[in-house]
Structure 1
């Protein structure tokens, strides 16, 4: 135990100590929450992940509230500073607690890099931390499912490494006997047990245990023990020094079957170095996995060619045809080909897979060969072909081959997309002539840095003798992109066909899910969104997404966040056009965005919907903890919502156009620099759809939003005229909420063109309307009207007390409604009013409080303009150095954002100091 105030034990019975005192954490959900945070170390754990790990599928009615209550109780027990709230989730305060899992992982990682003596000490310390089955006493099945397998594997690997370092392995025999009984199919433990027995002179016992193992694996797996165990068995039978490796049969050439590596390929130094490190760690099987066209075979052949001289008995190559136009090569046939290549006569090749596997391992047991198994379908496809012994096997697959790592000890390496520099290098090598660098970089982006796509695009440009810029212009049309990267004469170089090979290998449920994902307007999406698109419950959707990720049709970019490669997104969109469920999926997609955007708007603005929206099917929208979380989602997704509005309008789905427009336009009010052209286009679609539906309230709100778009686009006169029509419509139909909103907006618009008295009248009427209403929703309207009235009164140089009173009342309502964004704006206004009265000290307090409320929003949205004001306040207080630092920081932000007006203003302010 170190200097941390708390010690948390997860490797055994759950326990929390402060110094020598055990803290009694109730044996329920609090333990699950604390364990989930502790096992993640200093990393943030998202709220939805904590909920999943704590309750699994047995969710309480309000899971977020239940989670908050458990965190609150834990803080009361452990200390308020132990668990930190961060945007999107929680984390253990760094340094507040030491967790045995974190320490165990660190020690084993250090041991892997240390010299033998030091490694043994580190491993001893690590193994002492293991006090039994991890998470004992923590009532969370999902937590154990998530973390127990990896921890168990690390524990076993640490034991094996420690035994390998031991001077006398005999002392480990009792523990090894216990371990093989618990993990009977882990052959690496059996190898160490039998070796320890052999070295201790216990030959008979070793032979007996080997026979026990042989019967077990033959019964359970249908294969004999691994080649290393068979070799040990023969050594036990005849413990004489092993003969020198046998030479190949006389007259038979050493097989050299590796295909030549492609001439046009990039260096990939990082990947090659990673493979070198794997071999240095005595890896016997190296699996290269990645999406189609990423260059797995090219990389494997590059490295194998460099390595071939270390394998003097030859190289074998087999295309397993796991993905492609032909049926996969069955293990029985593949084994026959390998055996014949290794010199076994046809008449001596056995009839069954098990017998052929055993013979292959026997034949190659005294040879040092490199075996390249290309294009495997999955782990079961390649497992019978593994030779064992001193041979090195390279496997390539679109499948992650996780089972090959877990069961067979393979070292895996994910073959990544090319970097920009590597992409340009490949394009230049393929073109063979100089080309404009910027055009090459854009071409690389359009091809998604996928080597196959880059090569095809460059060859197409060369074939048509056209400049790269022409190819770039053609590829910008997304719907034609795969057509331009096609080759009707060779399926292996036709990108659509290559991608289709992965799709064709899916089962129907996976294929349907992949195609429906193509309906989303961007290639990235959340799990809840995917569940809505494919019409499945969240957990079922997660399993489907994970299966697609396992064959590299999808990338996992974070917990419950996924991404399609750009070209796979185009391919999926093509498939989606043919999906029978396309229309229903689009409806679910729109409905999910309506509900989630409404949740973001509520979190940001505490605004009330024009009317309740009820989707046709049960959906799980995202939930947001507060302003930063909601605003980050809006910034990431507002472009997708815009595209959905246009698509719904094209389909004539007026109800969803109105609903999406309502949520989006309201959210855009928090953006200091919105795309006003797009705003007006969206608002216009909302007006047209509302007119088609004919509902007076919807028509009024749609025009209200169009008026705001006109105002933000620099047309206050047009906005005022439009908003006055909204007022007339609201009065005609007795819609007090719409009228209050329109009058409040008119206050700001009239003030902009200098009609301050008219602005005050509009604000006063809005305040009176809101005060007269008993609807709770009008409380927010009242606050909006009050803050605008206060601003108008300040502009009219009336007694400042009235402006302060109205703004303070607005602030109280915003805080009552927990609207942090609007509270921040009210505090900013109060700061200006305090400056107007000469109270700079109070102005600074208001400014700092406003910045605290707005924390989490992007700087260019709200914080930096407020920071400029803070600089003025600091100058008034005589704190000029602090003002200079504040303005300098704001200058950097606006310079990076390209805001020349603000940059000039700040430059002048700093110079004035």
Structure 2
């Protein structure tokens, strides 16, 4: 027991204060005379009557108590002190109550209840020494008394209860780990030898008797009592030979431990809790994907925990998934009985008789039984009946669903564990020098231990070749499926291992798994799978349940599933080999059509006024998702973004060009809000080619416009304007007035970004006229917004403000609010800027527009910095950094890092500021951005300021420095969307926010 108050450690550094607190806690709610306190606390020193010092100590302890959540009060009552506290908040008093209740339950022979109560009590007293951090003579004497009168009786009751339940090995194991308690207490030693006589033999009892007597005489100066010696003599005389238990010696049938076992600490700890820490023998079952390392974990855990199973370890591989027939339970029972001394002639013939005999042989013995590679519950149930007196660890690829069994699914290895395993298996210098290649190899194997071992052997056998070259040679996961280690049988390839599980599935489960292999992503939802299979969702969910039981898929959400990457590769290969071309094509078409129709429904729910695309017939068996509200639709779009892109690429490869341009064209707004902008360009170029192949002029116009929007995101302004002008031409040919208005508006935006203000003004005005005639609110709003930008760029702030407010009156759009935030910050009204900025941020977050939210955060950070709200400003800048990274916008990330450094400097965290500026400068240099020189200058100036603070310029660290443009560049040409030239990050966000997507905005 210790005296501790983590929130008040400074006040408890004094031994006297810890001592006083110990006394009043021990005597909780009882009066203690101050003379006793003086005697106990100052007995070892001169001036033991130092009453004034006692009262100062009391004052300090009261301060500590006031800082605790329960705020107990140390009262003075004349010459007495009393601590008013709830006893349930003091471990000692809880211990005493639980120990008393446990002793009562033991007397009533309620052994299970007694064991639980006493164990809970002893957990509160982990060490025999009480007050170990109070080095006073009073504390030492009090500790001895407490151990003798409180701890020892509780321990005696606890271990006596174990003996009543025949847990002899538990008593021996526990007390061997508490030598300070065992070797000084005759009462505890007597309990120990009673258990030792059963667990080991008479010689062990005699050896302990001599060691205990020697230690007792040395410590106390006298012999143990005659009663103790009499007990030992009786146990030695009455102890039967070990053969009487049917165990001539402890058997160990465990295979060799895995030599390069790494990680899995959480799984090993869970098995400890289930099979070692519990007092009652239990059953644990490891299930998981083929090759996930279940057997390796079982062997390693059993080997490294052998000391807990002093009577041996039994092991059997039941071969439930091998090429041969599974091993019958009757054969396993025969093996175990033979090891335990039963001769062949005495072996019962029936399974039931063998079960009964094995159970009898294992009674009262601490044996671990490992049953590896079990097919199903029926395969293992007779063995569990036979080994009921023991702890049992089962492994199976299937979820067994056994009663009275704890189930634990073995996942793939964590990335760092996978790399560590490869490092150990490859065993040469390449693993140290090619860390990146090693990570790529681990990623290729998706953390599957069998795949990692096979890949490592492949690399190790080619020691003269760079790991990176070998990983490139492996290429796709298809090649990895057929690799095998030198000397391995064909069964040890990943393909063979997966096939052995696949062969046990029902036909409908085999078909679904193959169809999942056709999906471009390993993550898939049941509605998509139902569409691919052409069956109702409930039927597909039933088949998923079979795959879950076989551990070939994992369930991530209510309708979401994930197939391991290597199983996904196997399933895809199996689909190409064994599904007919017509069936495979039909499944792919239904998959693409599910995404096309669901995207269409989602976009229509989010923004009903958007341009529709020509309808297509929907194949039978495809039921697209419907959405209750825009939020639900937007959530689906965000979650399924990667899958939509992957399916679009598959559709293009399969020649489904009509579907491709429709999916991407409708999905454009979601695409530009998230992810790498270069990927957005690539996808739109692909979709544009599909529209041209499909000879769809509407699709070509839509995708050309949206490609221009994507090009703005990667600063390709001239190419973007060319694309918008081509979209304008196509829209005119089609007679599409809205398409023309959108193209005019976007071409104006591109011209504006290139610095051609007059041309931009003309294009915006033409677009505004068309939007007005079409009564298109968003288009009118954006047009006024950009006309305001032109006014602001030319220094006409009043005219710009009127345009912005006109836009706001049309629609309270978050882009308008963001622009007003930037405008008011630039014109010296940071409080107004913050108000608009927070509203813009809220709306952009609701719309899940990460890039726009990033720009809002940077404007907010600057405005808050101007208001001296530096902590909140820094929080905004840090969040902007994170968002920019997730969006793949490295320039904005660099700008956010620079601003974060400015905020850190304002908070006088100059070391952190230098870290942020260094990261910003490095990133700017990597991007070839001349702003790197400005940030390097900041760093140099900050360093000089630390050396010579009197020479520091007053303007150093101001956000005004962040507004300087790179040298040699025209401020007006770099200014974006009317944003002050100060903020490149906001400019980047505005480049993406202010265009209109045809059919997607």
Judge same fold: TM > 0.5, yes or no: yes
Farther-moved stretch of structure 1 (577-586 vs 320-329): 577-586
**Match status 1:746 vs 2:736:** no
User: Any idea what SS the aligned residue of 2:518 has?
Assistant: coil
CA contact (8 A) 2:484 2:493 kept: yes
Structure 2 counterpart of 1:456, from 447, 454, 457: 454
* C-alpha contact 2:260 2:425 (8 A) present in aligned 1: yes
SS of residue in 1 equivalent to 2:524: strand
Match of residue 838, structure 2, among 833, 836, 848 = 848
Matching of residue 889 in structure 1 with residue 878 in structure 2: yes
Aligned residue number for residue 273 of structure 1: 269
Q: What's the RMSD between the two structures over aligned residues?
A: 4.0
Indicate the residue corresponding to 1:291 in structure 2. Answer: 289
1:362 and 1:784, CA in 2 relative to 1: closer, same or farther beyond 3 A?
same
Q: Given the alignment of the two structures, is residue 653 of structure 1 paired with residue 642 of structure 2, yes or no?
A: no
Deviations 1:816-856 (A, max 9, x none): xxxxxxx2112112334555776654433222211121235
**Which one is further off, 316-325 or 303-312?**
303-312
Pick closer, same or farther for the CA change 1:165–1:271 going to 2, 3 Å: closer
Go from structure 1 to structure 2 and tell me whether the alpha carbon gap of 1:251 and 1:534 turns closer, same or farther (over 3 Å shift).
Answer: closer
Alpha-carbon spacing, 1:121–1:252, altered in 2? closer, same or farther (3 Å) = closer
Give the aligned partner of residue 476 of structure 2: 477
Whether 1:415 and 2:404 are equivalent positions in the alignment is no
- Return the match for 1:247 from 237, 243, 247: 243
State the SS of the aligned residue for 2:319. coil
Distance 1:674 1:264 in 2: 39
Any idea what SS the aligned residue of 2:284 has?
strand
1:808 has 2:808 as partner: yes
Alignment-derived partner of residue 375 in structure 1: 373
C-alpha spacing 1:839/1:262, structure 2 compared with 1 (3 Å)? closer
User: Which one is further off, 478-487 or 498-507?
Assistant: 478-487
Segments of 5+ residues of structure 2 without an aligned counterpart are 1-90, 103-109, 119-163, 166-237, 907-956, 960-1001
Alignment correspondent of 1:719: 720
Q: How does 1:71-86 map to 2 (within 5 A)?
A: none
Q: Is the 8 A contact 1:598 1:663 kept in 2?
A: yes
Distance of 1:681 and 1:589 partners within structure 2: 22
**Residue in 1 that maps onto 2:974:** none
Shift of 1:790: 4.5
Contact 2:677/2:710 (CA < 8 Å) preserved in 1? no
Q: Which has the larger radius of gyration?
A: 2
Gaps of 5+ in 1: 1-110, 123-158, 168-197, 200-241, 813-822
8 Å contact from structure 2 (residues 430, 467) kept in 1: yes
Q: How does 1:695-734 map to 2 (within 5 A)?
A: 695-734=696-735
Asked if 2 retains the 8 angstrom alpha-carbon contact of 1:398 and 1:551, the reply is yes
Report the equivalent of 1:3: none
The 2-side partners of 1:652 and 1:347 are apart by 72
Residue 436 to residue 858, structure 1, CA distance change in 2 (3 Å): farther
The aligned residue for residue 434 of structure 1 is 429
CA–CA separation in structure 2 for the residues paired with 1:319 and 1:855: 55
Alpha-carbon contact 1:737-1:781 (below 8 Å) kept: no
Cα separation, 1, equivalents of 2:524 and 2:488: 36
3-state SS of 1:286 partner: strand
Quick one: structure 1 residues 324 and 767, their matched pair in 2 at CA, closer, same or farther if it must change by over 3 Å? same
Cα deviation 1:755-810 (Å, max 9, x = unaligned): 33433333333333333337xxx444444445444444554647346413431234
The superposition leaves residues 34-59 of structure 1 with CA deviations (integer Å, 9 ceiling, x where unpaired) of xxxxxxxxxxxxxxxxxxxxxxxxxx
1:264 aligns with 2:263: no
Shift of 1:493: 2.8
In the TM superposition, residue 383 of structure 1 has moved relative to its aligned partner by 0.7
Residue matched to 2:769: 768
Greater shift, 537-546 or 349-358, is seen at 349-358
Q: Aligned partners of 1:700 and 1:888: how far apart in 2?
A: 39
Q: Does the C-alpha gap of structure 1 residues 160 and 730 become closer, same or farther in structure 2, counting only changes over 3 Å?
A: farther
Matched, 1:900 2:894: yes
Match of 2:319 in 1: 321
Cα distance in 2, alignment partners of residues 248 and 413 from structure 1: 37
Quote the residue 1:300 is aligned against.
298
Q: What are the Cα deviations for residues 668-727 of structure 1, in whole angstroms up to 9, with x where unaligned?
A: 2334x7433x33332233233223333332232122223333443433333333322322
Q: 1:712 to 1:851 in 2, by over 3 A?
A: closer
CA deviations over 1:336-358 (Å, ceiling 9, x no partner) = 54455555555665565445434
CA contact (8 A) 1:285 1:393 kept: yes
Contact 2:717 2:753 survives alignment (8 Å): yes
Separation (CA, whole Å) in 2 of partners of 1:632 and 1:839: 36
Instruction: Give the whole-Å Cα distance in 2 for the aligned partners of 1:509 and 1:160.
Output: 52
Cα distance change of structure 1 residues 624 and 521 upon mapping to structure 2, 3 Å threshold: farther
Instruction: Say which SS state the counterpart of residue 845 (structure 2) adopts.
Output: coil
CA distance in 1, matches of 2:348, 2:894: 79
Q: Secondary structure at the match of 1:669?
A: helix
Measured against aligned partners, the alpha-carbon deviations of 1:340-392 in whole angstroms (never above 9, x if no partner) come to 55555556655654454344434544655433211001222101111244323
Query: CA contact under 8 A between 1:786 and 1:807: conserved in structure 2?
Result: yes
| Residue 619, structure 1, aligned to residue 623, structure 2 | yes
Counterparts of 1:632 and 1:522, CA distance in 2: 19
Query: Measured at CA, do residues 585 and 624 of structure 1 come closer, stay the same or move farther in structure 2, by a change above 3 Å?
Result: farther
Query: Do the aligned partners of 1:487 and 1:494 also contact (CA within 8 Å) in 2?
Result: no
Which SS does the other structure have where 2:482 is aligned?
helix
Q: Distance in 2 between matches of 1:160 and 1:824?
A: 68
SS at match of 1:525: strand
Task: Go from structure 1 to structure 2 and tell me whether the alpha carbon gap of 1:470 and 1:883 turns closer, same or farther (over 3 Å shift).
Answer: closer
**Residues 868 and 259 of structure 1: CA distance in aligned 2, closer, same or farther (over 3 Å):** closer
> Of residues 853, 868, 880 in structure 2, which corresponds to 1:863?
853
Q: Give the TM-score normalised by the residue count of structure 2.
A: 0.60
Tell me the distance in 2 between the aligned counterparts of 1:780 and 1:605.
11
SS of the aligned residue for 2:413 comes to coil
**SS in structure 2 of the partner of residue 498 of structure 1:** helix
- 1:13 maps to none
Residue 791 and residue 560 in structure 1: after superposition, are their counterparts in 2 closer, same or farther (change >3 A)? Answer: same
2:100 & 2:406 partners in 1: Cα distance?
A: 23
DSSP-derived class of the 1:562 partner: strand
When the two structures are aligned, how many residues end up with a matched partner?
673
* 8 A Cα contact 1:322 1:328, kept in partner: yes
Deviates more, 1:683-692 or 1:881-890: 881-890
Partner of 2:816: 826
Mapped to 2, the partners of 1:908 and 1:314 lie a distance apart of 66
Change (3 A) 1:659 1:488: farther
Contact 1:804 / 1:833 at 8 angstroms: preserved in 2?
no
